[in-house]
Amino acid sequence: MSELPLDNHPENINRFERFSELVGIQIEDPDARVNAITNTDADTFLDGLSVANGLLQGKDRFQRWQGESANAQVKSLLLGTDIEPPENSHELFKEFYKRFQDELEPTPEGLQKSAVEMYFAIIGSHLFDDGNGRLARAAYYLIKDGALPEQQSDILERSDEIVHAATAVNSGTIGVLLEREGIEYEFVNEFAADENQSDEDGIFVDGGFTQQLKYIAARRVMLQNNTWPTTPPATVALKNWPDSRKAEFHNEYADVRQDWLNEFINYSGNYAPALSELIEHKQVEEPLARTVMLMERFRAEDIFKTPERSKAFLDSLDFNDFKRWLSFVNGMERDIPRTERGFREGSVVESESSLLGNEIEYQPPHQKQREMLMEMAFNKAKSLEDPELAGLTLGFAINAIHPYPDGNGRTARIVTALLSRGYDGSDEAKRYYSNLLENQKGREVINPNPAVHNVDRKIANDLREVVSEKSGYTDISKMPRYVSNGYGDAMAGELTSQDLVVAENISDTARRNLDLVLRDGQFTPLAIMKAFPPKRIEQYLKTTKSANAYIDGDEFVESLSEDEITDLAKASIVVKASYVKRLIEFSDRADVDEIVNSYR
């Protein structure tokens, strides 16, 4: 092949027509197309691809494929990690091509599956320094349809959907390889490592696909030398290995990369319909395709097939495992890398509650309490025999605790649905979870938000009785229901801590704390009642026409001292934690059946 001449072509050539001509499969009739591919040997096909690749890159003069490794890396834009193709990827591609020819069927389903496998074979083999993605997309369309798409942008542009497809197949492939090695991969294995040490030092961590492959290679070497421990280590380091052992590792790593490419192609064929939608970035069907891949990444059909199996999985975890799994679910459905996953300090949450009001904001519990409350919810869910009750307990808790900056509602819905319904991989289940993951539509499918069916109202009213009794508020007419204003002449919806009508000597920190308390809907008067006795606020009480008491915020806020604001902020933290604790224990309530039925 290296003796073939340079291929010259005029500048005005239609490169897409020339591409079709070179690969020789622009044939509409499926039987004729299959026959043409079957009669084209691997070297001829690769030769055509090499010229086509130059054409698709817009080159006027280029060399044909030389059968040499491009030393490139397959990048995952989503996770920011790379995988090095095998050094003999061109030979592996030829082996794939022979199987591809043998299995090619002239049916729509058969051509779709083969087209998807060819797409992933090209991007996985990475035969060229550049243009592999465009080449793979063009080959996909010709094999599947016998024609290139009318919109050439479908080939030239790398869409978000295509990134989802590659990342999902990579993730699933890694899972298969790890399980094949006997490494538990039920939900997520985070092989933690010291990030201060470079990858060259031999650190293998779950944060990247390459590191996972190296972990497998290191394990094989350690097994051969009888040094692999009974419990798989979280970290494998080569830094202190002798040179001879490192040489063994590099040889094994080369074999692992070959295993990866073969499984990468095989895995894609198993999910051809969903991947086909992503490659063609069909906007209408993309959520379903993405859901299929997402549930595969969760190992949902294996682990959560029925509610009983879902509950058994939950019971098998300790809290640290659960926290990692929950962050994994949240991170995957938000498409964020592992390094950004985990509990984070969140902001206010818009309420759907009649208790809090349509334009009132809900403050999650204090950041320092969120993990403690989440552990309480986890332990409560484990103690319950009914998977549905366990799911709703966790769903309520995730919504109320709000452990993540985003995606808390979707995460709560996924967890609740997996425990109460399971996932059997059927078309019905795929549609159900696809709808569930959309923000607006998902709330109509299942919504474990305690505000929706007034569960929060019931619990807040119970809490009001406790707070009022302990704080001496025996006169119902003097129990404030809300705080009116407190922000002077600020425009509604544009309130800031600097707009508060506090005394001049109040610090900025106190202003911010007070602002958070006042924005907490009807939890605000609960915090005030806990922080101050009735006599402290009675002069600021007003009464509505319906005889409900409220606090005149403009007058009350101005009267607060720095120490009183501190006490109020502390009281607010306690009240919110008490509310969430009562919410977690909802299954002990007398009206538990009514609550569960309302969420069905």
DSSP 221: H
Q: How many CB atoms lie within 10 A of CB 207?
A: 19
**461, amino acid identity:** N
pLDDT for 77:
36
CA distance 22 to 47: 9
| Spatial contact of 596 and 450, defined as CB atoms under 8 Å apart | no
Half-sphere exposure at residue 280, Cβ-oriented, CA atoms within 13 angstroms: 20
For the stretch 218-228, what's the b/e string if a residue is b when 16 or more beta carbons lie within 10 angstroms of its beta carbon?
bbbbbeeeeeb
334 in any annotated domain: yes
Output helix, strand, coil percentages for the chain, rounded to the nearest 5.
60, 5, 35
Q: Are residues 23 and 99 in the same domain?
A: yes
Whether residue 363 is contained in a domain is answered as yes
Look up tokens 């199987």; give the residue. Answer: 99
**Total domain count, the chain:** 3
Both 249 and 312 in a single domain? Answer: no
Q: What is the pLDDT of residue 285?
A: 46
Separation of alpha carbons 249 and 239, rounded Å: 12
Final residue before a domain boundary, out of 445, 478, 505: 445
The owner of tokens 């692992």 is 256
- Rounded (5°) CA angle 436-439-441: 55
Q: Which of 428, 445, 462 finishes a domain?
A: 445
Among 297, 312, 338, where does a domain finish? 297
Identify whether the C-beta of residue 172 lies closer than 8 Å to the C-beta of residue 297. Answer: yes
Of 76, 74, 75, 79, nearest to 335 by C-alpha is: 79
What gap in Å lies between CA 574 and CA 587, rounded to an integer?
Answer: 22
Looking at residue 187, its pLDDT comes to 43
> Cα(114)–Cα(99) distance, rounded to whole angstroms?
10
Residue 458: inside a domain: no
Query: Is there a single domain that holds both residue 167 and residue 91?
Result: yes
Q: Are residues 332 and 404 in the same domain?
A: yes
d(C-alpha 10, C-alpha 178), whole Å: 50
pTM given for the model: 0.61
Burial label for 246, CB within 10 Å (0-12, 13-18, 19+), is middle
pLDDT, position 476 = 79
Instruction: Judge whether 526 lies within some domain.
Output: yes
Distances (CA, A) of 454 to 76, 196, 275, 353: 44, 49, 41, 7
pLDDT values of the chain reduced to their tens digit, one per residue, 600 residues = 333 334 455 555 565 666 667 667 778 899 998 998 898 888 888 877 777 776 666 665 445 455 444 444 444 433 334 567 788 888 899 999 999 999 999 999 999 999 999 999 988 888 877 778 888 888 898 899 888 777 666 666 666 667 767 777 887 788 788 878 877 654 444 433 222 344 444 434 334 667 778 888 888 999 999 988 887 776 777 777 888 988 998 899 889 989 999 999 998 998 888 788 778 865 434 456 667 767 777 778 888 889 999 999 999 888 988 988 888 888 777 766 665 666 765 545 544 443 333 344 667 888 888 889 999 999 999 999 999 999 999 999 998 898 888 888 889 998 999 999 899 888 888 888 888 877 677 777 788 888 777 788 888 888 888 888 888 888 877 888 888 888 887 765 577 888 888 888 999 999 999 988 888 877 899 999 899 998 898 899 888 877 788 888 889 999 999 999 999 999 999 988 998 999 999 888 888 888 888 887
Q: Torsion over CA of 525, 526, 532 and 533, rounded to 10 degrees?
A: 100
pLDDT number for residue 57: 66
Specify which residues 8 forms β-bridges with: 61
Residues 54 and 184 both lie in one domain: yes
Range of the domain at 524: 470-599
Residue 82: strand, helix, or coil:
strand
335 to each of 79, 290, 430, how far by Cα in Å?
Answer: 8, 11, 19
* Residue 460 within a domain: no
